[in-house]
Structures are given as C-alpha cells and as structure tokens.
Structure 1
Amino acid sequence: MRQHKFPPGWDAERVQKVLTHYEEQTEDEAMAEDEAAFEDSIQTMMGVPCELVPAIRELLAKHHA
C-alpha cells in the first residue's frame, strides 16, 4: 500500500472532507464561493505568468513560516 504524504495539519480524513465539499457543491454555490474570494479584504487575486509561480510559492512559504 502506498503511503501518502500530507502537508502539516492535513490527513486523509481532511482531504476527503474537502473532496466531498466540492463534489457535492452546486454550480450556484461554487460561483458564490468564487465571488466571495474576490471580496476578501485581506487577500488579493491576480494573474501571474506561469513561470513565476514557483518563485511566488517560495515567497508565500517564507511569509507563512
């Protein structure tokens, strides 16, 4: 049996809960969730070139550490 590695604070049960949430979500609920993300006052959404994603992930990891 293959062992899965999860990020800190995550386990198979938590992953299953997230999968269930999105699999059971209606289209209207998904749209409302997406729109709410753009209204968050402490985060921002932006498009970035794909080649910058690794560097951005590294910066975010350092910020959260």
Structure 2
Amino acid sequence: MSEIVFLVEEAPEGGLTARALGESIFTQAETLEALREEVRDAVRCHFPEGEGPAVIRLHYVRDEVLAA
C-alpha cells in the first residue's frame, strides 16, 4: 500500500476527527498537531509492521452555511 487518505472534519462537540477512506480507522483529537500524531499512531496499530502505507494524506473538509 502506498497511500492512505483520512477525511478530517471539525467535530460538533469541538476538536477534530479523522476517518480513513477504505479502512476501519477512526481517531480524534483537540488540536491539529495532536490529530496528526493520533493518525500516525492509529495507522501503526492497524497494519502489521512493514505492510502500512508509505504516505498518510489528510483531506480537510469544512462545511460553511450562509444565510440566503
């Protein structure tokens, strides 16, 4: 596996969540820096040694609602 993509969103209760696309990996943290570490740790725990991705991509999604 060369790459894994995480969808990163702001959590309604605060902080951030990250969900892997195509894998059963989910994590959360209060800050972006902490989330990066949590994602790395979750990937290391999910894959056997030597079988994980070479690259972790974080795709940030932010919804914005405007009054008409």
TM above 0.5 = no
**Which one has a larger percent helix, Structure 1 or Structure 2?**
1
Query: TM (normalized to structure 1)?
Result: 0.26
Query: TM (normalized to structure 2)?
Result: 0.25
Instruction: Give the structure with higher Rg (CA).
Output: 1
Q: Which has the higher contact order (CA 8 A, sep 6+)?
A: 2
